[in-house]
Structure 1
């Protein structure tokens, strides 16, 4: 098993942003994927949805602060979008191609993840991909976050931004995660 770290970058903007950093790690071991996000900021400057007593599958989570990742299979146009709200709500969408054929992915009836908030905020998701992807396939992934600031400005964070506008669906911004029997990543 191999653990890789990341730091997300904001989409370039003329807005003055509060001091904020999003880092984390990603691990793939066979078909188990673990992503750990760490938001370091003055959390009073970020709109964080309060924890829900009954987290459910919800649409349009990206309109608020939301941790996301996009998964594709190398040499295939299809991909999945995973949305994780700090409130505990979630959703997974399947696309046939770039922004085409968006449907709710029914292979997942729950998407458990942990959120911890103190001075910073962390979110950890550990997911078995067996229902949607074969273990020996090379994954392509984009790790992203939408941050809604207390002044109502929304910023878009990703490993890289390849378009003229913030667009997490661009496959050029996905990175490969090969399957490895020994290393996992």
Structure 2
């Protein structure tokens, strides 16, 4: 099993940021991938999307939805080492999810139909929020080495947005850059 911890950094900005910390861990055992995000700090100003109709989804039945990155969204990117193809996984604290497949950098974006459910859980805690996912990557990769980029979009109640990642290798926030897929599993 390969297990690593991570800590996300906000994209450099001249604006002052609330006292937030986004950290977690990721592990791979064969094709099973487990990821856990921990959001800690002053997050009362963070806008958390509400489920459609105001009804909270059951934690074991999240549903698929597009454009989750327009709101607070936990994301990770998976690529096969030495391949142009990669996948973007989006997880909303409101219980929505999606997976997209790309043929190359921002090219050929398609919803990944190999996944019909993405069971993850969100737990509100006194000092933060935890989001965890266990997934079988065997539907998209075999035993190849993978490279992972871990990111988060934080949208505030005043509509400002911050972008968090393991690293920011460009002058603009861009989660799709392969230089930011720095965890190898």
Bin for the TM-score computed over the shorter chain: over 0.9
Q: In 2, distance between residues paired with 1:117 and 1:33?
A: 22
Question: Displaced runs of 4+ in structure 1, greater than 3 A?
Answer: none
Where does the alignment leave 5 or more consecutive residues of structure 1 unmatched?
Answer: 179-185
Match of 1:27 in 2: 27
Q: In 1, distance between residues paired with 2:183 and 2:158?
A: 36
Match of 1:134 in 2: 142
SS at match of 2:133: strand
CA contact (8 A) 1:45 1:150 kept: yes
Q: In the alignment, is residue 94 of structure 1 matched against residue 101 of structure 2?
A: yes
If the length of structure 1 is used for normalisation, what is the TM-score? Answer: 0.92
Q: In 1, distance between residues paired with 2:76 and 2:47?
A: 20
Match of 2:184 in 1: 177
SS at match of 2:149: strand
The aligned runs of 1:156-175 (5 Å cut-off) are: 156-175=163-182
Match of 2:14 in 1: 14
Match of 2:70 in 1: 63
Where does the alignment leave 5 or more consecutive residues of structure 2 unmatched?
Answer: none
The aligned runs of 1:40-119 (5 Å cut-off) are: 40-50=40-50, 52-53=56-57, 55-119=62-126
How many residues are paired up? 177
Q: In 2, distance between residues paired with 1:2 and 1:56?
A: 29
User: What per-residue deviation string (whole Å, max 9, x for no partner) do you get for residues 79-121 of structure 1?
Assistant: 0000000011000000000000000000000000010012200
CA contact (8 A) 2:20 2:43 kept: no
CA contact (8 A) 1:74 1:176 kept: no
1:41 Cα deviation after fit = 1.9
CA contact (8 A) 2:149 2:183 kept: no
2:154 paired residue among 130, 147, 153: 147
Q: In 2, distance between residues paired with 1:128 and 1:17?
A: 36
Q: In 2, distance between residues paired with 1:95 and 1:153?
A: 28
1:173 Cα deviation after fit = 0.8
SS at match of 2:64: coil
User: What per-residue deviation string (whole Å, max 9, x for no partner) do you get for residues 60-81 of structure 1?
Assistant: 0000000000000011000000
CA contact (8 A) 2:11 2:164 kept: yes
